[in-house]
Amino acid sequence: MIRSTLAVFVTLLAFGASAQQVETPDAPRPMLKAQATVTGPVVHVGDLVENAGVIAKVAIFRSPDLGSTGTVSADAVADAVRTQALVEIDTGGLAEVTVTRAARTIPAKDIEDAVARSLSVQFNLGNPSDITVTFERQIQAMHVDLSARGEPRIARIGYNRDGRFDATLEIPTGTSTRGLLRVSGRAVATAEVVTIARSLERGAILKESDILVERRPRAEAGRDVLTDRSQAVGLALRNPMQAGRILRTGELVKPDTIQRNEVVTLIYEVPGITLTVRGKALEGGAEGDVISVLNEQSKRNVQGTIIGPGRVMMGQHGARLAANVASAARN
């Protein structure tokens, strides 16, 4: 008897709500929405229908997954609300409604950073920003309830010196709940180094486009590696180099000021007298280098120091020659 009375009461209440809407011509007409955003696990009538009245809070559909979007046809909405005594809806010509489940997004980078920070502290791998973390399985961004607070944190982590790690993270999922995520992969302490962008020949003068700054395992880097572009630009390679090679200080020299077989001016200088003669460089070199030069007048090979483009200063032998010439001139 109680159940029958309750059933009649609910029926009358629904009929009354419907009758109230029909008998009140000035009441706003229920209209289908084109889009809806929900925050909970279920979709209510009011999420999909404007002016739904007393049944706005009635649940009719399951929500999409967190952070995802789905659609529901206008006919399905009409059928669902019809059972709630809302007989007529103005669809406005819409065929379906787009429903999005709002969520908080936890980027994959946050998980990577949590692993790097933990490895840095527990295993002394240096600055977290210098640790390159690679997961065995690609980590996707995670969608959790909007009420979720806090950041991913490491519950447990293990690390082998070969670079492998295994970790369990606690992920915030709700107001007071956290889920577990297990990840594994490799982590390597790295350093920024200067590398060759393309294969180059010996003597090539490095330009900005010829070099890169990359992160390489710290074990591959030494104290003599270059870490800044400015340390390499404008210098020349001592030997040929393949693309990808790490640059070290001993592999760079000042660019050749004089090229092999270049015509140069040999300079003999003593106090008060400067003699010059035409010569041909038998080897190339940078300013300050000692090279062999053919004296085209005497046809002898001499050595001198490069003091500028096309200019070679003779050494002690040249100085004695200049002194003899000067003495002979005075006599």
pLDDT digits (tens, 9 = 90+) for 228-259: 999 999 999 989 999 999 999 999 988 888 98
The mean pLDDT value for 54-79 works out to: 94
pLDDT at 25: 54
List C-alpha distances in Å: 132 to 115, 118, 124. Answer: 10, 13, 14
Residues shown for the chain: 331
**pLDDT confidence of residue 177:** 82
Burial of 78 (0-12, 13-18, 19+ CB in 10 A): middle
Look up the pTM and report it. Answer: 0.63
pLDDT, residue 20, reads: 40
Q: How far apart are CA 179 and CA 39, in angstroms?
A: 19
Mean pLDDT across the chain: 86
Given a cut of 60, whether residue 319 has pLDDT beyond it is no
What sign results for the dihedral spanned by CA atoms 131, 135, 141, 142? negative
Confidence (pLDDT) at 87: 67
Evaluate if residue 183 carries a pLDDT over 60: yes
Task: Supply the pLDDT for residue 176.
Answer: 81
Spell out the domains of the chain, with CATH numbers in brackets.
2-101 (2.60.480), 106-190 (no CATH), 191-253 (3.90.1210.10), 263-330 (2.30.30.760)
* Residue-wise pLDDT tens digits, 256-305: 889 899 999 999 988 888 899 999 999 988 888 899 999 998 999 999 99
**Token digits of residue 14:** 């629904």
Other Cβ atoms within 10 Å of 254 Cβ, number? 15
Helix, strand, or coil (residue 185): strand
Q: What is the pLDDT of residues 2-24, one digit of tens each?
A: 233 223 223 323 333 343 444 44
pLDDT for the residue 5:
28
- Spatial separation of the C-alpha atoms in residues 138 and 123, rounded to whole Å: 24
What's the pLDDT score for residue 84?
Answer: 79
CA–CA distance, 190 with 167 (Å, rounded to integer): 20
**Model pLDDT for residues 160-181, shown as the tens digit of each residue:** 988 999 999 999 998 888 899 9
Tokens 């200019």 sit on residue: 311
Place of tokens 């909970």: 40
How far apart, in Å, do the first and last CA atoms of the chain sit?
A: 148
Q: Look up tokens 């009461």; give the residue.
A: 9
**Percentage of the chain exceeding pLDDT 70:** 87
Q: What is the pLDDT of residue 219?
A: 85
